[in-house]
Chains A and B, each alone.
Chain A
Amino acid sequence: MATLRLERPGPGGRAGLVIIMAFALVALAVSTGLYPADAAVATGSGQWEPASGRHWFGTNRLGQDIFARAIVGAATAFKVGMTVTLLSLLLGAFFGVVAGWRPGGWLDALVVWLMGVLDAIPFYLFAAALAFALGGGEAAMYTAMVLTFWTATARLVRAEVMRLRQLDYVASARAIGVAGPLIAVRHLLPNCRHLLLVQAALTFVAAIKTEVILSFLGIGMRDGVSWGLMLSESTQDVLAGHFGNFLAASALMFVLLLGFNLLADALQQPNPDSAKAMVGA
C-alpha cells in the first residue's frame, strides 16, 4: 500500500506547502486582527490612483487600497476553502463508508442514486441555481458548494471501503463482534486518510475557485472583501483603463491555487521510501 509523502515531500510539494503556509499566516493575521481589515474598506484615497509606494496595486473606484483588499480576500478564500472542505469531507466520508459497508444494499443504492443525480447536473449551473434558490449570500454559497462537493469524496471512500472490508483485519474485527460503526472509525476511515488528504487539497482549490466565480456572478459573497468581488469590480475598472483589481486578485489566486496543486500532486505520488521498503520485503 502506498503511503503519504507528508514526511518527506519532494521539491514541488515543499514549494506548495510553503505557499499554503504563507497564505495561512496571512489569513490568521487578518482573522485575529493583526492585519487591520479596515484598511480594505477605507475610502479615503483618490479614485483609481495608480500603483505607488503607498498603494502597491493602486486604488479602486471608491479609493480603497487594492493590495489591502487582496490580502483580506486571501483570508476570505481561506475561510471559504476550510469551511467547505471540512464539511464536504465529513459528508463525503460518512456517506462513502455507509454506502461501501454493505455494497448492493438499499442504503448503498440510495447513496449511489443520489450521487448520480447530483453529478449529472453541470456543476456551476447547479451551484448557481442552488445559491439563487436559497436567496444568495454567504450561507447559500456554502450550502451550494458543500452539497455538490461531497459526492466526489463519497465515491472514492465508498470504493476504498469496499476494498478494505475484504481484508483480513476487518474480517477479524467483524468475527470477534466489533460493531460496524466502531470498525468504520477505528479501521476504515484511518486507512482512507491518504484519499481524504488528496481530496481535501482538491476540494480546497475547487471551493476557492467556485467562491470567486459565484461572487463574480453576484450570487456569492455580498458583504466584505473577496477575490471574486474584486474581479467583478475589475469589469468596470478595465473599461476605464485600470487593471489593479484584476492583477492583484488574479495573481494571488494563481499563487494560492498553484500551491495547492503542487501539494496535491505531491500527495498523489507514491512514497519512494515506502515503495523501496515494500520491494525489499
Chain B
Amino acid sequence: MTRLLPLLLLLTACSDPGAGPSDDAVTYVHAMDGAPASLDPAQASSVYASFLVVNLYDTLYRYKYLARPYELTPNLAAAMPEVSADGLTLTIRLKPGVRYIDDPAFAGGRGREVTAADVVYSLLRHFDPASRAQGAWLWQGRIEGIDEWKAAGADYDNPVAGLQALDTHTVQIRLTRPYPQFVHTLAQAYSAVVPREAVERYGRELGSRAVGSGPFMLRSFDSARAVMDRNPAFRREPFDLAREGYDAGSQSQYELETLEGRAPPFVDRLEVEFIAEDAARWNAFRGGQVDFIKVPAAQFDQVLAQREPPRATPELAAEYHLSAERESGFVYTNFDMSNPAIGHHPDPERAQRNRALRCAIVNGFDWEARNNRFYSGIGKVFPGVIPPTTPEYVEDAGSDYIQRDVEAARTLLSEHGWNADNLPVLEYGYPASVTEQQMFEQFRSFMADIGYPRERIRPLSFATFGDYFGAYSRGEVMLITSSWTMDYPDAENVMQLFYGPNAAPGSNSASYHNPQYDALYDRAAPMAPSPQRTASFQAMNRMIMDDCASITGLARTLVFMWNRDARMLPDRSFTGGFFLRFVDKAGRDG
C-alpha cells in the first residue's frame, strides 16, 4: 500500500474537478461543412464562425428559436430597445447579474459582470484598425461620431457621442439617420460582447479561445472540431414554447414540448465537427459519429421519397428527423456593369447593344435545368433579387425574366448587330470546385443554344474564394457567379446589393449604377417596413430586370437530418447557431 500511495497521489493530482462533464454527460455532435478561421467576434465573417460565436458569447438580441418569419427577442438585453420618437436614439438595458466565464484574464481569475461599457467596447473594436475587425460596414456612417472616433486614432478612452454607457446596465445609441435594421445588427455575431481584459491579454490568440458569457464554454478548438461544455453559470431562463414562436401545426413532430419550463442549454457538451467533404460528412452521419447533417444536394435522390414538401424515405425516416428550409438568400450571376464590353457604356448606342446582349444571355439561361441538375429541382426560381423568404416578395414580379426563350435571345442578338464574329469574349468566374466547373459547363451549353460560340466563353477559376472575391472586387471578372445569404430578414439587405455607392469593391459586385434606383433606395432604405417601402423595393427590383444587370435568381432549399433522439429544429439562416442552446437529447431522460 505504501508503494501505491505515490501513484494514488499522482492520479488524484491529475484529476481536475473543473475539467468538464463526466463520460455519461449528454453530448450533441453537430457537423458543419466548413470551419471558422477565428472565434473572435470581430472576425466572425463566416456562417461557421457565427455558429460558434453566438454560443460562446452573448449578443444583445437573438432570433426566436421557432418563429417563422424570424422575430427578434432580447438575449443579453433585458427588453427590446426604447426608441425615441424620431427613431434616432435607442436606449438598451442589459440584464443584471450576467457574468463572463472564469478566466485568468480577470482579476483573481473569476469572471466579472457583463456591463454596458463592454457593449460599447465590443462595437468600437470594429472601428479600431489594430483589431483588423470585419464588421464595421454594419455601423459605418450610421452611429453618430463613430467614424470620427476612428479617424482620431481609435482611442478607447475617447468617448463617442452616439455610443455611450449611461450606467452599468444601460447603453444609449444615437443614429445619424433612421436605420430600421439596426436592432438586427445587434443579433449578429459581430456584435457579441467581449471583455476588454481578454482582448488585451490574449490579442490574436482570442481567435482560438473564448472568454464570453454565452451558454457554452470552449474546451478545445482546432481545424477539425470545436468542443464546448455547458456554461454552468449561464443565466437560468426557463424555456417558453409560446414565447419562442412554437407552431404546433408544423412543429409538433419534433417533440419540443418536453423542453417547456427547463433552462437551456440542455446538453452538457456540444461538439462541432468540421467536415468539408460531403461523402465523409455523410458517412460520419450514417455511422453515428455525428447527430446532424445538412444533406448534400447530390444526396437528395437517395434521401427524399418526396420533394414537395421534402420527405425522407421510410427507412431513413425511421432513424432520423428531416426538415427543409428555404434559404434566406439566393444564387445569381452578375454582369460586371463597369466593363464597357458588356455593361454600362458612355456611347448610348453601344450601351443599348450591351443591354440587348445581356438580356439575350438572360433569355438563354435555363433556370429550370439549373434547378434540376444542381438543386434536385427543389430550389425556388424567382425573378429579380427579392427572395421568397421576405415579405416584399411577389410571385409574379416578372416571370418572363426567368423563362427561357432561345428564339427571343437569338432575335435580340441579331437585331442589335451581334453575331458569332463580334460577340465579346466572356470570362465566367468561379472559385475552383467540381460543382462550379460543371455549372460553367452548363452555362456554356445554354449559350451555345443562342449562338454564342463555345470558345468565346472562358472559365476564370480561382483557387480560393478569397482570390475570387478579390478579383471581382477589382472588376477583373465579367460574369460573377455568387450567392448572397441575407444578414438580417429585411429586403433592404438585398436592395443594397445594387445601390450605386456600394459599387465594387463594395457589396454591389455588379457595379450597377442607375440614378433612379439610387434615388429610390435613398428614400426607401430608412423607412420602416410599410406598403410604401414595399412598392419602392418592387420598383427597384423591376429596374434591375429591365437593365438585365444580373441573371437571377434561385433560392436554395436546405435539407437537414438529425438523429431521432435529438430534440431540436435546426436553422442555418442569419446567425443560425442560436438554436444549439436549445438542443436536447433523449439520453437526458435516462
- Mask, A212-246, CB within 8 Å of B = 1, is 00000011001100000100110111111100000
B445 at interface, CB cutoff 8 A? yes
Q: Are A223 and B279 in contact (CB under 8 A)?
A: no
A43: Cβ under 8 A from any B Cβ: yes
Instruction: Enumerate chain A residues within 8 angstroms of B458, measured Cβ to Cβ.
Output: 223
Confirm or deny: B5 has a beta carbon within 8 angstroms of a beta carbon on chain A: no
Which listed residue, A63, A222, A240, A241, touches B437 by the CB 8 Å rule?
Answer: A222
Instruction: Check B372–A47 contact: CB distance below 8 A.
Output: yes
A233 close to B438 (CB less than 8 A):
yes
State which of B297-305, B488-496, B548-556, B564-572 sits at the interface with chain A.
B297-305
Indicate if the CB atoms of B463 and A136 lie closer than 8 Å.
yes
Residue in A43, A222, A235, A241 whose CB lies within 8 Å of B432: A222
A229 and B441 CA atoms in complex are apart in Å by 12
Cβ of A37 to closest chain B Cβ, rounded Å: 10
Q: State how many angstroms separate the Cβ of A117 from the closest Cβ of chain B.
A: 25
| Residue B442, interface by CB 8 Å | yes
- Which one of A62, A229, A236, A241 contacts B442 once the chains associate, using CB atoms below 8 Å? A62
Closest partner residue, chain B, to A44 (CB atom): B445
Instruction: Decide: A62 near B299, CB < 8 A? Known: A219-B463, A223-B459, A235-B434.
Output: no
Bound CA span A141–B277, Å: 24
Which residues of A have CB within 8 Å of B278? 235-236, 239
Report the Cα distance A241→B458, complex, angstroms: 31
Tell me if A218 and B442 are in contact (CB < 8 A): no
B445→A240 contact, CB < 8 A: no
Chain A: minimal CB distance from B73 (Å)? 38
Cα–Cα distance between A232 and B279 once the two chains are bound (Å): 13
**Quick check: B282 and A239 within 8 Å, CB to CB?**
yes
> Is A42's beta carbon under 8 Å from chain B?
yes
Contact string, A15-49, partner B, CB cutoff 8 A, digits 1/0?
00000000000000000000000000111000100
Cβ-closest chain A residue relative to B460? A222
A interface residues, how many (CB within 8 angstroms): 26
Task: Please tell me if the beta carbons of A219 and B282 are within 8 angstroms of each other in the complex.
Answer: no
Q: What 1/0 mask marks residues of chain A from 59 to 70 whose CB sits below 8 Å from any chain B CB?
A: 011111000000
Does residue A126 face the partner (Cβ distance < 8 Å to B)? no
Are A218 and B432 closer than 8 Å at their CB atoms?
yes
Decide: B463 and A240 in contact? CB cutoff 8 A: no
Contact B459 A240, beta carbon cutoff 8 Å: no
Closest Cβ of chain B to A5, distance in Å, is: 43
- Let me know if A123 is at the binding interface, CB within 8 A: no
Q: How far is the CB of A146 from chain B (nearest CB, A)?
A: 21
Asked if A94 is at the interface of the complex by the 8 Å CB criterion, the answer is no
Interface contact A62-B434, CB-CB below 8 Å: no
A132-B463, A235-B279 given as contacts; is B445 within 8 A of A41 (CB)? yes
> By the criterion CB–CB under 8 Å, are A222 and B461 in contact?
yes
Least Cβ distance of A216 to chain B in Å? 9
Please determine whether A43 and B441 come into contact, CB atoms closer than 8 angstroms.
yes
Question: B438's contact among A61, A136, A222, by CB below 8 Å, is which?
Answer: A61
A222, B441: Cβ atoms closer than 8 Å: no
Residue of B298, B438, B461 near A62 (CB, 8 A) is B438
| CB within 8 Å for A219 and B435 given contacts A62-B441, A239-B299 | no
Residues of B within 8 A of A236 (CB): 278, 296, 298, 434-435
> Does B433 lie at the interface of the complex (its beta carbon under 8 Å from any beta carbon of A)?
yes
Interface string of A123-134 (1 = CB under 8 A from B): 000000000100
Within 8 Å of chain A (Cβ to Cβ): is B373? yes
Identify 28 residue pairs between A and B in the complex whose beta-carbon atoms are under 8 Å apart, listed by A's number. A41-B444, A41-B454, A43-B445, A60-B438, A61-B298, A61-B373, A62-B438, A136-B461, A136-B462, A218-B432, A218-B433, A218-B463, A222-B437, A222-B459, A222-B461, A233-B438, A235-B277, A235-B278, A235-B434, A236-B296, A236-B298, A236-B434, A238-B279, A239-B282, A239-B296, A239-B298, A239-B299, A241-B302
Given A136-B463, A235-B434, 15 more A-B residue pairs with CB atoms under 8 Å apart are A41-B454, A42-B445, A43-B445, A61-B298, A62-B445, A218-B434, A222-B432, A229-B434, A229-B437, A233-B434, A236-B296, A236-B434, A237-B298, A240-B298, A240-B302
